Chain A
Amino acid sequence: EDQVTQSPEALRLQEGESSSLNCSYTVSGLRGLFWYRQDPGKGPEFLFTLYSAGEEKEKERLKATLTKKESFLHITAPKPEDSATYLCAVLANQAGTALIFGKGTTLSVSS
Chain B
Amino acid sequence: GAVVSQHPSRVICKSGTSVKIECRSLDFQATTMFWYRQFPKQSLMLMATSNEGSKATYEQGVEKDKFLINHASLTLSTLTVTSAHPEDSSFYICSARDQGRNYGYTFGSGTRLTVV
> Which residues from chain A sit less than 8 Å from chain B, CB to CB?
31-32, 34, 36, 41-46, 49, 87, 91, 96-104, 106
Contact = CB atoms under 8 A, between A and B. Distances in A.
B112 interface: yes
Nearest to B1: A46
Interface in B82-116: 91, 93, 95, 97, 103, 105-110, 112
Interface residues of B, number: 24
B34 interface: yes
Given A97-B97, A103-B43, A44 B107 contact: yes
Interface of B: 4, 6, 32, 34, 41-46, 49, 57, 91, 93, 95, 97, 103, 105-110, 112
Nearest to A96: B49
A44 B43 contact: no
Contacts, number: 49
Contacts of B6: 43
Given A97-B32, A98-B34, A41 B43 contact: no
Contacts of B106: 46
Contacts of B45: 101
22 contacts: A34-B105, A41-B91, A41-B110, A42-B109, A42-B110, A43-B4, A43-B108, A44-B44, A44-B93, A44-B107, A49-B103, A91-B103, A96-B49, A96-B57, A97-B49, A99-B34, A99-B46, A99-B105, A100-B46, A103-B43, A104-B43, A106-B41
